[in-house]
Amino acid sequence: MTLQYTGQLRTQGTHLASGNTVVTDAPVDNNGRGEAYSPTDLVCSALGSCMMTIMGMVADRNHIDLTGMTMAITKRMAADPRRISEIVLEVQMPARDFSEKERAMLENAARTCPVALSLHPELTQTVLFQYA
């Protein structure tokens, strides 16, 4: 990947293998326009998408259909120093009967994904699973 500062507190990242791009903008409460993901938003999104991806891998190996799973993510910031203090991830599981074993496997997969394990231990990761 490559990254370019495009001015006015914006960056554009390019994924070299695919050519896909991601634009970031500083948030309004930190001198930006808030017109795109902020870098801290991307951290939260990376955590959520990593959790879902690893859950998908476990589900595929165990013939569990997770199609339709969604996640709402809330980012909480601390002021001094300015940093992410908590990421709340609310996972809405698809409407189907999950056994206790399946629930445990999937929830463990989410909580132990590579991004979750890479974040600072002082950053609180609150993961809530909602089953229909």
* 44-57 tens-digit pLDDT: 999 999 999 999 99
The answer on pLDDT for 132 being more than 90 is no
Fold of the domain built from segment(s) 38-130: GMP Synthetase; Chain A, domain 3 (3.30.300)
This prediction's pTM: 0.95
Q: Cis bond leading into 81, ω under 30°? A: yes
* 60-86 tens-digit pLDDT: 999 999 999 999 999 999 999 999 999
Q: Please, are residues 2 and 16 in contact by the beta-carbon 8 Å criterion?
A: yes
* 88-130 tens-digit pLDDT: 999 999 999 999 999 999 999 999 999 999 999 999 999 999 9
Residues carrying CATH 3.30.300.20, the chain: 38-130
Strand extents, DSSP E, the chain: 2-7, 10-14, 21-25, 70-79, 82-92, 124-130
